[in-house]
């Protein structure tokens, strides 16, 4: 995978020009570049605005509508209703999630068999929202970071996660957000 992104310019006639090949490319060719593992950067030729997000979204919408089911309708409603603070929180959440997934893929011996995604989500949540004092911790909490680092053993069976501490923390976060919003 190349270190620097492939630069593509979009011209007013909606044609895309890839500087690395010195030719025009289609959306299908841009999709192929991404699927091959390349990072692309698409800029407007006149304004220099970054259009990468919009073009990648267009490719998903037009060529892979089944992948839109990754985003539940309730989540899309939530995103549209969110204020600046909540949008910032969601952006950070997704960025951190992607960073963690990338780390697992690059450093875990069992990266191709992430059989227990709830373990890495729980480890990530425990890292950003530690258990409040006095609240019981789940028995598997101490093993989650080790599994995230070393990868889950195929012979190990994962204990069922305890939803109580997570739901309590989510309730606390919701209360804090309500307080913050009422101050604005």
pTM over the 0.85 mark: no
pLDDT for residue 82: 85
pLDDT in tens, the chain (184 residues): 446 899 999 999 889 999 999 999 999 999 999 999 899 999 999 999 999 999 999 999 999 888 888 888 888 888 888 888 888 888 888 888 888 777 777 776 555 445 455 565 666 566 655 555 555 554 444 444 444 444 444 444 555 555 557 777 788 888 888 888 887 6
User: Based on C-alpha coordinates, what's the Rg of the chain?
Assistant: 21
pLDDT for residue 125: 62
* Residue whose tokens read 């620097």: 4
**For the chain, percent helix, then strand, then coil, each to nearest 5?**
55, 10, 35
């Amino acid at each position: 995978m190349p270190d620097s992104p492939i630069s593509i310019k979009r011209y007013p006639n909606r044609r895309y020009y890839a500087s690395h090949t010195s030719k025009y490319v289609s959306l299908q060719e841009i999709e192929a570049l991404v699927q091959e593992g390349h990072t692309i950067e698409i800029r407007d030729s006149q304004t220099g605005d970054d259009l990468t997000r919009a073009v990648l979204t267009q490719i998903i919408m037009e060529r892979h509508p089944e992948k839109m089911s990754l985003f539940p309708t309730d989540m899309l409603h939530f995103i549209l209703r969110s204020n600046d603070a909540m949008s910032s929180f969601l952006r950070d959440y997704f960025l951190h999630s992607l960073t963690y997934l990338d780390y697992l893929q690059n450093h875990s011996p069992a990266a191709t068999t992430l059989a227990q995604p709830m373990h890495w989500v729980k480890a990530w949540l425990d890292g950003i929202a530690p258990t409040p004092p006095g609240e019981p911790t789940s028995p598997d909490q101490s093993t989650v970071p080790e599994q995230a680092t070393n990868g889950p053993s195929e012979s190990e069976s994962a204990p069922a996660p305890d939803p109580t501490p997570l739901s309590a923390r989510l309730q606390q976060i919701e209360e804090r957000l309500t307080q913050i919003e009422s101050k604005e």
